[in-house]
């Protein structure tokens, strides 16, 4: 029973954090009204394609998050992997904004910072949340490139310029996603001497 409550608690925590992440991604896209573009009719929401897309994003996010060996962080990464695309909503509804404005380095850092703060407030280690959030953005970029669309508004909202990532970059992107989770794990487990604070 205690175990069940524990698991339910972890699930609810991850779902809550992922919901905040989705809201932040959506609000980031609202910044796009500062630089309106002609509305486009998107064709990428056909149901079978959507199922493949969602599955692919979850797969990449979970593979990268497995390095944390933390169920809560893996669940959070699974949610984040898909929910960054909340920044598509306005464009999909026909509003004159770009559809990927949260696909941005600044969004990644902002969201990671906010979620790490919330983690700290909820009594969980903020560092894992910070890095898993950065990792899930890198993993998401990787699958977007892999699936055939590597156009990102990398510096939004400082700049609304689009950067088109070549296909081969999906591999280094997913490697970065894994390392963002693996390196802090290794650092945390290294003996004090290896961290340079011996004595
Ligand atoms: Zn995307």
What is the spatial distance between Cα 172 and Cα 188, in angstroms, rounded to a whole number? 24
Average pLDDT over residues 143-149: 95
The predicted model gives 164-187 an average pLDDT of: 95
Distance from the alpha carbon of residue 103 to the mean position of ligand 1, in angstroms: 7
Would you say residue 195 has pLDDT above 60? Answer: no
**Residue 199's pLDDT band (boundaries 50, 70, 90)?**
very low
- Cα–ligand 1 centroid distance for 54 (angstroms): 10
pLDDT digits (tens, 9 = 90+) for 71-91: 999 999 999 999 999 999 999
Distance 154 CA to ligand 1 centre (A): 12
Q: Are 64 and 139 in contact (CB under 8 A)?
A: yes
C-alpha span between 44 and 35 (Å, rounded): 23
Phi, psi dihedral angles at 163 (to 5 degrees): -115, 125
- Which residue intervals of the chain are DSSP H helices? 2-30, 47-65, 71-83, 89-92, 105-121, 126-146, 170-189
Ion ligand 1, residue ranges at CB < 5 A: 85, 144
Question: Among 3-7, 8-12, 69-73, 166-170, whose mean pLDDT is lowest?
Answer: 3-7
CA of 99 from ligand 1 middle (Å) equals 9
> Given this model, what pLDDT does residue 153 score?
94
Cα 44 from chain centre? 20
Ligand 1 mean position, distance from CA 11 (Å): 24
Cα 111 to middle of ligand 1, angstroms: 15
pLDDT in tens, 92-132: 888 999 889 999 999 999 999 999 999 999 889 899 999 99
């Amino acid at each position: 029973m205690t175990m069940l409550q524990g698991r339910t608690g972890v699930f609810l925590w991850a779902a809550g954090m992922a919901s905040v992440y989705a809201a932040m991604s959506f609000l980031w896209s609202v910044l796009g009204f500062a630089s309106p573009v002609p509305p486009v009719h998107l064709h990428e929401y056909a149901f079978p394609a959507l199922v493949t897309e969602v599955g692919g994003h979850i797969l990449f996010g979970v593979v990268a998050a497995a390095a944390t060996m933390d169920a809560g962080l893996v669940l959070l990464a699974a949610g984040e992997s898909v929910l960054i695309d909340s920044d598509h909503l306005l464009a999909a509804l026909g509003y004159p904004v770009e559809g990927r404005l949260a696909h941005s380095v600044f969004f990644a850092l902002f969201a990671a910072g906010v979620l790490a703060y919330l983690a700290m407030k909820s009594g969980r280690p903020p560092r894992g949340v910070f890095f898993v959030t950065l990792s899930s953005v890198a993993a998401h970029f990787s699958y977007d490139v892999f699936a055939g669309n590597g156009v990102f508004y990398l510096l939004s909202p400082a700049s609304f310029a689009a950067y088109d990532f070549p296909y081969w970059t999906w591999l280094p992107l997913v490697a970065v996603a894994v390392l963002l989770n693996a390196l802090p794990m290794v650092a945390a487990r290294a003996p004090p001497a290896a961290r340079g604070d011996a004595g």
